[in-house]
Structure 1
Amino acid sequence: MAIRAVVFDIGGVLEITGPMDFTRTWETRLGLAPGEIRGRLADMWAAGAVGGVTEAALLEATVERLGLTAAEVELMMADFWVQYLGVGNTELIGYVRQLRPRFRTGILSNSFVGAREREQAAYGLESLVDDLVYSHEVGVSKPEARIYELTCARHGVAPGELLFVDDLEVNVAAARSLGIHALQFRDNAQVIAGIEEIVSGAPG
């Protein structure tokens, strides 16, 4: 079955990101124990990943639960977004751009409320690909089967016609279990060569 669509994760693939450790700085600043910020806000962070809370509600809860001012929360969230967005993987973004019109292209991302707008402003992802599936917009996240099935449906392809690239082994394994071709991202050269091998039908 020929590949008709190629879909990419964002963080760790199209964006080069490091650890999300902004909370350590803020816990030190606020005199909190390690892990306390995430502990107090765990339900809100989880809801933000699947669209169960608005940005405004998240900010309000952070003010209340951490005893901060709105201005302090805005500063903390600015640190969050700097780490979340990382820097653009310009070589791979350029490669993705030239895949069309040979293939449909897309994004499948475990995301957080507010991510689409910020990633669009930073990297112009909406013009890069044909379709974007964000977990916070569709209410389900990787590695759940439903988000892969939704991605196939939105591209109008069968699982065997989709190639998916992600940096996490668990997400790659979940895609493969559904019959999707999947590659784990390690570096640009490796993943570009892997894509070209799969789409050409070469044995690997």
Structure 2
Amino acid sequence: MNLPCLIVDIGGVLELTPHTGWPGRWERRLGLPEGAIEERMADVWAAGMIGEIDEPGVSAQLTARLGLDGEQLTALLDDLWADYLGSANQEMIDYLAGLRSRCRIAVLSNSFVGAREREQAAYGFAGLAERLVYSHEIGVQKPDPRAFAAALGALDATPAECLFIDDHAPNIEGARAVGLHAHLFTGNADAIARIERHLGG
């Protein structure tokens, strides 16, 4: 009999990611109007989330659309990734690390190109989960049913066997629509209690 499975989001669950306000700082630094970075880069951000552009392509578009020199590009990317990576939700990470004998774990993340390498360097997620499923690698984002299917396929699991944890309500609704058990993450204590119920603890 297969062990039960757990599918976990990264940003807002395994990473604490309060917004740092980097776009506003850079708009002021570059003399751009408020909201200009999002307006000029929205299609690039969207492409990066589903792997339709690579990191050199992102850098080229930032340089061209924002008028950056090389030093500015490096500094802006540092700010972007600091915001993206946030900090470790260490309590949740440590708890999940202790579950490997009790369940199968996958990560399912709406992710930007380059995230796997940086998150591995910062947090070592490859040692936490059996499978890491990133939207920029599979070409679709949650709550698309294909994203959940990719995570289930990676674990060779059925929806009924799995609990999905995410901090974004539309993703919870999407998971339930394909038959997954799902819990909206609002804090560690509630999430851990829900996982324990799923595992029969």
Residues 1:63 and 2:63 are matched in the alignment = yes
Q: Distance in 2 between matches of 1:31 and 1:137?
A: 35
For 1:199 and 1:172, the matched residues in 2 are separated by: 19
Instruction: Tell me, yes or no, if structure 1 residue 122 matches structure 2 residue 116.
Output: no
Q: Secondary structure at the match of 2:163?
A: strand
Return the offset for 1:197: 1.4
Q: CA deviation at 1:196?
A: 0.8
Pairwise mapping of residues 33-112 of structure 1 onto structure 2 (< 5 A)?
Answer: 33-112=33-112
1:21 aligns with 2:8: no
Unaligned runs of 5+ residues in structure 1 are none
Name the aligned partner's letter for residue 95 of structure 2: Y
Asked if the contact 1:105/1:131 (under 8 Å) is kept, the reply is yes
Q: 1:34: how far off?
A: 1.2
Distance 1:3 1:144 in 2: 25
Equivalent residue for 1:153?
153
Listed as ranges, the gaps of 5+ residues in structure 2 are none
Do the aligned residues in 2 keep the contact of 1:3 with 1:162 (CA within 8 Å)? no
Q: What is the deviation of 1:20?
A: 5.5
Question: Which SS does the other structure have where 1:165 is aligned?
Answer: strand
How high is the sequence identity, in percent, across the aligned residues?
A: 46
Q: Secondary structure at the match of 2:34?
A: coil
Task: Decide whether the 8 Å contact of 2:50 with 2:141 is kept in 1.
Answer: yes
Corresponding residue SS for 2:23: helix
Cα separation, 1, equivalents of 2:189 and 2:61: 43
Deviations 1:134-168 (A, max 9, x none): 00011100110100011111111111111110001
Question: 1:127 deviation in Å?
Answer: 0.9
Q: Distance in 2 between matches of 1:35 and 1:64?
A: 17
Answering whether residue 175 of structure 2 is matched by residue 144 of structure 1, we say no
> Contact 2:8/2:164 (CA < 8 Å) preserved in 1?
yes
Spell out structure 1 runs of 4+ moving beyond 2 A. Answer: none
Q: CA deviation at 1:21?
A: 2.6
Alpha-carbon distance in 2 for matches of 1:80, 1:110: 16
SS in 2 for 1:68: coil
1:9 is aligned to 2:9: yes
1:199 and 2:199 correspond: yes
Note if contact 2:3-2:102 (Cα within 8 Å) is conserved in structure 1. no
Aligned AA (2:8) = F
Tell me the amino acid that sits aligned with residue 107 of structure 2. I
Residue 106 of structure 1: SS of its match in structure 2?
strand
Other structure's SS at 1:105 match: strand
Q: Which residue of 2 aligns with 1:190?
A: 190
| One-letter identity of the residue aligned with 1:30 | L
Residue-pair matches, total: 201
Q: Is the 8 A contact 2:176 2:182 kept in 1?
A: yes
Q: After superposing the two structures, state which structure 1 stretch, 2-11 or 38-47, moved more.
A: 2-11
